[in-house]
Amino acid sequence: MKIAITGAAGFIGSALYQYLQGKSEVLGLVRENESDILPVTDYSVSHLTEMFQGVDCVIHLASKRGAGQSFVEYAENDVLLENILKAMAAVGVPKIVFMSSLAVYSEQNTLPWTEDQFPIPQTFYGLSKLTGENMCRYYARKGINYLIFRCAIVFGGNDLTRMMGSFIRTAANHETLEVRGKSVAKRDFIYVKEVVHALAWGALECQVENTVLNLSSGECHTNLEIAETVNQAFENAGNLVYHSDIDECLDDSYMASSAIKAAGYVHQYTLQSAMQDVADVMHSNH
pLDDT given for residue 160 in this prediction: 77
Q: Do 177 and 170 contact (CB within 8 A), yes or no?
A: yes
Residue-wise pLDDT tens digits, 141-176: 999 999 999 999 999 987 777 899 999 999 999 999
pLDDT tens, the chain, 286 aa long? 999 999 999 999 999 999 999 999 999 999 999 998 999 999 999 999 999 999 999 999 998 776 677 888 888 899 999 999 999 999 999 999 999 999 999 999 999 999 999 999 988 999 999 999 999 999 999 999 999 999 999 999 877 778 999 999 999 999 999 999 999 999 999 999 999 999 999 999 999 999 999 999 999 999 999 999 999 999 999 999 999 999 999 999 999 999 999 999 999 999 999 999 999 999 988 7
Which positions ≥6 away from 212 have C-beta within 8 Å? 100, 115, 133, 148, 149, 150
Q: How far apart are CA 177 and CA 236, in angstroms?
A: 9
Whether the Cβ atoms of residue 131 and residue 75 lie closer than 8 Å to each other? no
Q: What whole-number distance in Å separates Cα of residue 88 and Cα of residue 106?
A: 32
Q: Are 191 and 225 in contact (CB under 8 A)?
A: no
Check residue 122 and give its pLDDT.
84
pLDDT at 180: 93
- CA 120 vs. chain centroid, Å, equals 19
N-to-C CA span, the chain: 37
pLDDT for position 205: 97
| pLDDT tens-digit series, residues 6-26 | 999 999 999 999 999 999 999
* Contact (Cβ atoms closer than 8 angstroms) between residue 263 and residue 221: no
Residue 238 C-alpha from the chain's centroid: 31
Cα–Cα distance for residue pair 202/245, rounded to 1 Å: 44
**What pLDDT, on the 0 to 100 scale, is given for residue 69?**
79
Cα separation, 236 vs 54, whole angstroms: 50
Q: Whose CA is closest to 214, among 137, 144, 119? A: 119
Query: What per-residue confidence (pLDDT) applies to 66?
Result: 62
The pTM of this model reads 0.96
